[in-house]
């Protein structure tokens, strides 16, 4: 099973600096990367070109304030979205079908000491990068997705996500993947150069991506019933996307149990199981039968 969460710190001298958090969603196969920074901004630079030329920019004032933390979400569909960053959404290969290396994000900081200091204890879910040999001054990090097995030599961090023999990918972070040229008035700023995607639009529908990911991770070609979460909610993922939301009939050996639908789409159903007193059962109960009545 995939590890859901990893924190990455950079250690230099006696200090640990906050770098990124990585979180993988085991339901839809999306990867979330958070850049940890406290504080807010009143304005930001918006670039009108791509990574090769940062000279053409404009300053935009923010109505209110914008948090300094940033989030990059690489969805199982191949859609890459940037939150709290002015960069536009780009499109690449779906995470389950990575066939070639691709740099999907770049992050440039004025100096390591501009990062927030991490004061808490370092646990087993933390990756610590040795920053003792990092240069003084601006550092530029490139985030690369690639097939597992592609060399990540020279990377600061490299993580493999493997679900089956034909469904896997790796994420690696490299220092100074290219020479960043930026205007003089930006030397003290954090810079997020716009990236160019591999495609002009999303190549895989979300419903297909969710079904394929769950079939891969559970090694199952049919419908998949996920066990209840802490609130007692089951998720039933259909074999294929339906044209309309299906009617679903689920029966249990105990006929007094009642199915309560929480949400339903054309590719999954979330439901609870209540006993005769209306109480939600939170332990796993194996159904006797599941029937779907719908149109493809």
User: What is the tens place of the pLDDT at every residue in 259-291?
Assistant: 999 999 999 999 999 999 999 999 999 999 999
Distance CA 222, CA 36 (A): 40
Distance CA 256, CA 95 (A): 43
- What is the number of H-type helices and E-type strands within the chain? 1, 19
What is the structure's pLDDT at 1? 38
CB of 110 closer than 8 Å to CB of 182: no
What is the structure's pLDDT at 4? 76
Give the count of beta carbons closer than 10 Å to the beta carbon of residue 92: 23
Average pLDDT over residues 172-197: 79
In 3D, which of 235, 236, 227, 237 has the Cα closest to residue 283?
Answer: 227
Q: What is the pLDDT of residues 108-162, one digit of tens each?
A: 899 999 999 999 999 888 999 999 988 888 899 999 999 998 877 789 999 998 8
Q: What is the pLDDT of residues 53-66, one digit of tens each?
A: 555 555 555 556 77
Q: What percent of the chain has pLDDT over 90?
A: 61
The CA distances from residue 24 to 72, 78, 282, in Å, are 12, 14, 24
CB of 47 closer than 8 Å to CB of 191: no
Average pLDDT over the chain reads 87
How many CA atoms, within 13 angstroms, populate the side-chain half-sphere of residue 119?
Answer: 1
Please state the pTM of the whole predicted model.
0.87
Beta bridge partners of 232: none
Q: Look at residue 249 and tell me whether its pLDDT is greater than 50.
A: yes
Distance CA 103, CA 131 (A): 22
226 burial type by CB count under 10 A (0-12 exposed, 13-18 middle, 19+ buried): middle
Q: State the pLDDT confidence band at 16, using cuts at 50, 70 and 90.
A: very high
Q: Look at residue 94 and tell me whether its pLDDT is greater than 70.
A: yes
In 3D, which of 35, 18, 115, 128 has the Cα closest to residue 73?
Answer: 35
**5-12 vs 126-130, strand pairing mode:** parallel
CB of 226 closer than 8 Å to CB of 238: no
Q: What is the pLDDT of residues 193-237, one digit of tens each?
A: 888 899 999 999 999 999 999 998 888 889 999 999 999 999 999
Q: Provide the 3-class DSSP secondary structure of residue 16.
A: strand
What is the structure's pLDDT at 177? 52
CB of 5 closer than 8 Å to CB of 14: no
Q: What is the pLDDT of residues 36-83, one digit of tens each?
A: 999 877 656 666 555 445 555 555 555 567 788 899 999 999 999 999
């Amino acid at each position: 099973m995939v590890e859901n969460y990893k924190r990455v710190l950079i250690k230099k001298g006696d200090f640990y600096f906050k770098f990124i958090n990585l979180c993988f969603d085991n339901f839809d196969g999306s990867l979330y990367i958070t850049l940890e920074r406290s504080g807010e901004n009143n304005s930001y630079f918006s670039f009108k070109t791509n990574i090769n030329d940062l000279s053409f920019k404009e300053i935009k004032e923010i109505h209110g304030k914008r948090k300094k933390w940033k989030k990059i979400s690489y969805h199982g569909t191949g859609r890459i979205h940037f939150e709290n960053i002015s960069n536009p959404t780009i499109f690449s290969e779906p995470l389950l079908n990575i066939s070639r290396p691709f740099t999907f994000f770049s992050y440039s900081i004025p100096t390591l000491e501009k990062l927030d200091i991490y004061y808490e204890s370092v646990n087993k879910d933390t990756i610590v990068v040795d920053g003792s040999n990092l240069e003084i001054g601006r550092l530029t990090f490139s985030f690369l997705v690639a097939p597992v097995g592609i060399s990540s030599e020279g990377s600061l961090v490299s993580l493999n996500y493997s679900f089956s023999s034909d469904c896997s990918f790796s994420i690696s972070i490299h220092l100074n993947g290219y020479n960043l040229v930026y205007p003089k008035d930006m030397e003290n700023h954090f810079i997020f150069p716009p990236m160019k995607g591999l495609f002009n639009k999303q190549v895989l529908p979300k419903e297909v991506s969710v079904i394929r990911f769950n079939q891969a991770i559970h090694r199952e070609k049919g419908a998949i019933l996920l066990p209840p979460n802490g609130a007692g909610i089951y998720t039933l993922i259909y074999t294929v996307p339906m044209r309309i939301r299906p009617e679903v009939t689920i029966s249990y050996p105990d006929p007094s149990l009642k199915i309560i639908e929480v949400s339903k789409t054309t590719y999954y159903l979330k439901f609870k199981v209540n006993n005769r007193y209306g109480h939600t059962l939170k332990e796993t109960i194996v159904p006797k039968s599941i029937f779907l009545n719908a149109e493809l």
